[in-house]
Amino acid sequence: MTNQMIALEKSKPEPGLWQVEAPVPEIGPEDVLIRINKTGICGTDIHIWNWDEWAQRTVPVPLITGHEFAGEIVELGRDVTGLEIGQRCSGEGHLIGRQSRQSRAGRFHLDPETRGIGVNEQGAFAEYLRLPAFNVVPLPDAVDDEIGAILDPLGNAVHTALSYDLVGEDVLITGAGPIGIMAAAVARHVGARHVVITDVNPARLELAAQVTDVVPVNVAQEDLRDVAARLKMKQGFDVGLEMSGNQAALDQMVESLVMGGRIALLGIPPGKSPVDWSRIVFKAITLKGIYGREIFETWYKMIAMLENGLDVRRVITHRFAATDFREGFEIMRSGLSGKVVLDWR
């Protein structure tokens, strides 16, 4: 194996990524080396490409980016057990510490020392990735590399959707991006009654209807109260999954929920947003912030659901060779795509 590889790097503190030759990572005793087969482009990668305020204060330059991937193990550190060379895998991109109270209690996704591959540490937009063996998630035959490459965002959707019991419930999802659409598919898979997803982007609403049995609503054209009446809902939605990061959408969700409704928040509004806390209090609304995935409970649950019939493949709308990454980023930035997958082989 050559000691050089092709990678996509944030080489300069300005918009864009650049294809470079980089050394193949050297692994430590508790690491594995993964040959990357496919990667997904994430909204976080778009922030890094655009070099917005968040990226400028978060991402060191130069850095190989990317954190959604599937591949196969080609080298094992000397202390690694339970994994094999040639084994297909994805992996958790949050690199945790081991000293915090949260980590020592097994609540790894809440560890304050967390660092992200492709954000703080060298990432997966490359032919090879070094990853702690602890973070490796083996893939069963039922989950191919293309789906394996989008398990990270599917995990966000699963973590958000499974925050509350959805069986027989009426669910409102604000934001029909790929994660919102996958959350709708999860909600239907686990037994929600009505699932309504809102956006103002007709292309994304159309995609949502193609992926799963959902009621897509363009809130620029239709009132949610009319939708609820059409669905014969007596009081409102039981559970809200906020995926848009839009304050108006959150306000609308609060208004549309039943007394005692529950909201899981994954979307992040830019800057500081005004909140009418009286509406939250007087409707006895429960709010839960969602960060990443539960390590590793979410991974177990989503792989089990995929093996049991959960189908999110149609959320992938574009596929490119890794060398055509600029086209992939252009279509992602347009807002006219679902997930975009890059092929590194």
Query: Is residue 318 annotated as part of the catalytic site, yes or no?
Result: no
| Single-letter residue type at 174 | T
**Residue the block writes with tokens 């083996």:** 138
Q: Could you say which of 2, 39, 47, 160 is catalytic? A: 47
Q: What is the pLDDT of residue 271?
A: 77
CA 168 to chain centre: 25
The predicted model gives 103-130 an average pLDDT of 96
**Between helices 151-161 and 297-307, what is the axis angle to 10°?**
100
CA atoms within 13 A on the CB side of 303: 20
Q: What is the pTM of this model?
A: 0.95
Give, in order, the Cα–Cα distances in Å from 212 to each of 70, 182, 310: 24, 8, 10
The mean pLDDT value of the chain amounts to 96
For residue 144, how many other CB atoms are within 10 A of its CB? 15
Could you tell me the domains of the chain?
4-150+312-343 (3.90.180.10), 156-289 (3.40.50.720)
Q: What is the pLDDT of residue 288?
A: 96
* Predicted confidence band of residue 274 (pLDDT cuts 50, 70, 90): confident
The predicted model gives 56-69 an average pLDDT of 97
Q: Could you say which of 39, 44, 65, 174 is catalytic? A: 44
* Predicted confidence band of residue 107 (pLDDT cuts 50, 70, 90): very high
DSSP tally for the chain: helices H, then strands E: 12, 18
Q: What is the pLDDT of residue 268?
A: 85
- CA-derived radius of gyration, the chain: 20
pLDDT tens for each residue of 172-199: 999 999 999 999 999 999 999 999 999 9
Say whether pLDDT at 120 is over 70: yes
Say whether pLDDT at 250 is over 80: yes
Query: Is residue 44 annotated as part of the catalytic site, yes or no?
Result: yes
Say whether pLDDT at 200 is over 70: yes
Say whether pLDDT at 1 is over 70: no
pLDDT tens for each residue of 134-181: 999 999 999 999 999 999 999 999 999 999 999 999 999 999 999 999
The predicted model gives 40-49 an average pLDDT of 96
Percent residues over pLDDT 90 in the chain: 94
